[in-house]
Amino acid sequence: MSTFVTRDGTEIYYKDWGTGKPVLFSHGWPLDADMWEYQMHYLSSRGYRTIAFDRRGFGRSAQPWEGYDYDTFADDINDLIEHLDLKEITLVGFSMGGGDVSRYIGKYGTSRVARLALLGAVTPIFGKTDDHPEGVDKSVFDGIKDGLLKDRAQFISDFATPFFGLDNGQKVSDGVLTQTLNIALLASLKGTVDCVTAFSATDFRPDLAKVDVPTLVIHGDADSIVPFEVTGKRAAEQIAGAELKVYKGAPHGFAVTHAQQLNEDLLAFVGG
């Protein structure tokens, strides 16, 4: 397997396909790099180098007890970029992964970054705060953590229904549901729970203020996990010149339900 070791000694798995300008993918919760296999195959078949990693605590990466915060996630991305000496990167982050590519820019700038794509992302801020009262209430995230600690396998199995919009007319195969559960259960329980705190409580507004590269924001208007009105819409408004694409009827898991549309939009975006 392809792995590298971060500055704090954590071994991170990554896959690296094709040649050409690099596209670096950061996955959502509670998944791993395999969520990107169709996007990676599509882009690498058309002349791009695609890289995706398993976040610490997830997939085939090591499972440390600590480090499930966005400053550390950004450091891990920076260590991967330096390990591979990537330049002119298109950063693509889905859901909680939109947070770590944004925090990477907030901490390290855009000297190696050509473009940014935020897909169903938790940016600029997901949870409710005094100055963001329309965010999702903390009780929702507390309920998620309670469900994980009681019966993680069943909670994640049930989570697939709103994730893929199965309660709103979308359809995915039994195989996709099985694969999704299998991927999620590879993760550490500690990392899975701690990341709920990270993506619900982190404010990315200062990071988005530093974005100075062409940016594409894609969000489903039927996303019941990360509501468009309080995340994607606001991120597109905050980033100067950002292009916003709203997928009509799309759920949070539109990388599966709207895979071809996403593939084509990403190809057009990375090609400039």
- Residue pLDDT tens, the chain, 272 long: 799 999 999 999 999 999 999 999 999 999 999 999 999 999 999 999 999 999 999 999 999 999 999 999 999 999 999 999 999 999 999 999 999 999 999 999 999 999 999 999 999 999 999 999 999 999 999 999 999 999 999 999 999 999 999 999 999 999 999 999 999 999 999 999 999 999 999 999 999 999 999 999 999 999 999 999 999 999 999 999 999 999 999 999 999 999 999 999 999 999 98
Annotated catalytic residue, options 219, 223, 258, 265: 223
Domain ranges of the chain: 3-270
DSSP-derived secondary structure for 47-110 = T-EEEEEPPTTSTTS---SS--SHHHHHHHHHHHHHHHT--SEEEEEETHHHHHHHHHHHHH-S
Q: Which of 27, 219, 252, 258 is catalytic?
A: 252
Let me know if 95 is a catalytic residue: yes
What CATH superfamily is the domain 3-270? Alpha/Beta hydrolase fold, catalytic domain (3.40.50.1820)
Does the annotation count 252 as an active-site position?
yes
pTM above 0.95, yes or no: yes
Answer yes or no: 258 catalytic. Answer: no
Q: Is the CB of residue 127 less than 8 Å from the CB of residue 201?
A: yes
Annotated catalytic residue within 95, 102, 188, 200: 95
| Concatenated DSSP letters of 179-215 | HHHHHHHTS-HHHHHHHHHHHHH-B-HHHHTT--S-E
